[in-house]
Structure 1
């Protein structure tokens, strides 16, 4: 795991612990590992490095809520490995950044920052979030956290999930309703899981349905949004976009998305705050205790034991799927 033993309040003393932060040299023989908490990195090649040698692996604990990039790493193993997500751990911090991006975009902060670097004083009228119509696509832990943060702004919030249901804050409508819901939204927050079914969910037709001047905020995965279609809509001056995730990542320095008018881009930092490490160690500690006591693990990702279809993956006991 990427954490030191002294970072935990309490761990079972009948297990051995090895710290590995993703550096080139592995500190122990990977074949001895039964429980793998991957390094705290976004580079899948680093996470993959010891897997082929982990012949005794039974559990892999992810440090992210999204696991679409990890499932393929396990599909050709000789035996099934239990994969657990970090469901719910990142929801509040990700929602916090979503709100930051919404306010920054609506009030024109990127333009004011550019003016500051130029030493130029030029006032402008921004748009208000108060009373705006907000559409949240993907009503798991992140979507629900965004909903809670919007409460003081008196927004009209429309919630969309995989299926129609009720939450503590109101009705969650099904994805099939999106064509009728998109045109009335001032702000659209995308927080849905990345699967084959949601790839390019936000495409040219979706963007054409958005009202002029509406803001698109992507907190999901870059693959959920068609980047070329977004660039075209931005260049036409029809919409604004605030993106914490892109396709590809990292976004190349010469990518036109960086300089598209009306865009605000952050480098996939929704989860990264000063409280991240303590939240993750809390989750890992709980999971290790459950592993040691042979109790069911939380946030288990169910997937076929043969070739893996990402669209068939589902989360069990995952806070990202827990109804609010």
Structure 2
């Protein structure tokens, strides 16, 4: 496409992550579709230059640390038609005012989903083998040849949240032959059955499942969704896995529950995050904690940029966007 015919575009994200999200080959590809009004990513719209350039912009490619698209910013960008986010949730920078102006919004959340699903399935599999605790015991001189409480066959998996990731997790476990229960107030029994899962209330899910894996969004009503009462509902030997948001679990209540040895936990996210040094959860042999690394990391980050560039190409070609975000989804996004 001749340069003059290309819509004007701008990249708005942290400059420290931009080269990983949009390495040279993807940046070149993006430049074949849009005319970038600035070579490097914009980290703030408050300087003297950004408002002038925003006046031209039709497509904004955003990423981690994109400044909020306030009314003032939108007033400075009257030609803006699309916000394409090269990351997951858009809630930090996109609000109702963006949709009110008829601006199309897309997210690369699908590109971030598969690594989280892979990580979750790996955690459930290893935790079912009691691999983490046994590895610590092995290092301490205890070699366990046989474990009565290990193994994954016949386990009932409970998925909390039929989100983008939750649905993929359900599909993996259904395909592996597990019985899967799902709890989600926005899901109906027919849709759940279509996923191959049984819809149930959260309390009942906690009572019946050997593994509970969390995939709900961070909302006021989901804070401490898994609290002391629900932890007590879990059967002996149950495993709690959280690769969603730390606030879904009451960390102090979880530490008390796991300290009894009755249940295990695998956490990629915590509340607070990071956990302070010396927190009781770190000392428990049946708790495994990783530093929020389930999503795209390192070499995987370019997946986000590749998804976003493809979305820009689809938008310019007048094709439907695969990662389109609707205004009514904002309240339910992670």
CA contact (8 A) 2:211 2:239 kept: yes
Q: 1:110 aligns with which of 132, 148, 157?
A: 132
CA contact (8 A) 1:139 1:172 kept: no
SS in 2 for 1:220: coil
The number of residue pairs the alignment matches comes to 300
Distance 1:147 1:187, change over 3 A: same
Q: Corresponding residue for 1:173?
A: 199
CA contact (8 A) 1:243 1:264 kept: yes
Give the CA deviation at 1:263.
1.1
CA contact (8 A) 1:302 1:314 kept: no
Cα distance in 2 between the residues matched to 1:281 and 1:64: 8
Give the CA deviation at 1:92.
1.9
Give the CA deviation at 1:259.
2.2
Q: Please, which runs of 5 or more residues in structure 2 have no aligned partner?
A: 1-10, 12-17
Counterparts in 2 of 1:223-302, with a 5 A limit?
223-272=247-296, 276-293=300-317, 297-302=321-326
Q: Corresponding residue for 2:239?
A: 215
CA contact (8 A) 1:134 1:158 kept: yes
Cα distance in 2 between the residues matched to 1:64 and 1:168: 28
Matched, 1:90 2:112: yes
Matched, 1:144 2:167: yes
Give the CA deviation at 1:257.
2.6
Cα distance in 1 between the residues matched to 2:211 and 2:175: 16
Give the CA deviation at 1:242.
0.8
CA contact (8 A) 1:131 1:153 kept: no
Cα distance in 1 between the residues matched to 2:61 and 2:127: 36
Q: Please, which runs of 5 or more residues in structure 1 have no aligned partner?
A: 305-310
Q: Corresponding residue for 1:47?
A: 66
Distance 1:172 1:17, change over 3 A: farther
Cα distance in 1 between the residues matched to 2:278 and 2:39: 37
Cα distance in 2 between the residues matched to 1:159 and 1:95: 16
Distance 1:140 1:49, change over 3 A: closer
Q: Corresponding residue for 2:121?
A: 99
After TM superposition, the score normalised by the length of structure 2 is 0.74
Cα distance in 2 between the residues matched to 1:293 and 1:225: 44
Q: 1:195 aligns with which of 213, 219, 236?
A: 219
Q: 1:182 aligns with which of 164, 185, 206?
A: 206
User: Structure 1: which 4+ aligned runs deviate by more than 6 Å?
Assistant: 21-24, 49-54
Cα distance in 1 between the residues matched to 2:125 and 2:314: 41
Give the CA deviation at 1:249.
2.1
More helix by share: 2
SS in 1 for 2:226: coil
Cα distance in 2 between the residues matched to 1:49 and 1:181: 38
Give the CA deviation at 1:227.
1.6
Q: Corresponding residue for 2:4?
A: none
Distance 1:285 1:121, change over 3 A: same
SS in 2 for 1:264: strand
Cα distance in 1 between the residues matched to 2:168 and 2:243: 12
Q: 2:331 aligns with which of 302, 305, 313?
A: 313
